[in-house]
Structure 1
């Protein structure tokens, strides 16, 4: 005979609070599902509370909070039945938390000791900024030459345009 493993869970689910009798029937159904195969409820709370915002066009809901020890199969059945009830509009939301210390401790260990990622280049890429092979002084001299050439060209074009305008004036006077 196979031994069943029990895990500790905390389950919170919200039921539509418009019909209290229906809320209690849903609660009984969920408790029955979660306690089959010797599952045990250790703590149970329920209350009605306003939502911070509308959920499925509802302003408030009947909250049920259970702390229990049950099998993962019972949790799977609970999730399946909950999704059916949610499609019918009887329940609003749920939250299932596994409270097993081993899983919590391993998660804390992983969180506390993060490994630094190792980055390796898979290919050799040329740098994005290319450096000039020529020294700065040579570049400055070359820039000065091109600036001088540009100013000479500008002066020539201005002289040519002024000569053309004087020729036009002379032809108009004749």
Structure 2
């Protein structure tokens, strides 16, 4: 039997203030997006802001629906909007923040599985990684240099041929 080792390389920052200024600005945009989330059922607001290679910023937030699972996560709202408005322009950085209306969240909240799969699709499509920063309402921020650090065994279109 052959064994393989899978490693994830993540950076942990104690607070937003430790991030490079451009990432602080992007995370602040994610905070703004988070406050406009439509989450009347979960009361769990998520905001995402991404930066394109051109410098353009695209924001998204979670959009819930009474007919579960018809809603959409913040990360996919932002990524799909970027794909629709700026087709073919690579995403360089994604910032994500989450807040619960029921409790304070200080633990970094990573993208869910469906969002990881969507992010993987875009990384493969653009042939370059995107840095992903995520946090709770406040506190530590985690950085992944690529979705492959969060989803190392990605499923992509190459398996379909």
Higher relative contact order (CA 8 A, sep 6+): 1
Q: Normalising by structure 2, report the TM-score.
A: 0.26
Greater C-alpha radius of gyration: 1
Higher helix share: 1
Higher strand share: 1
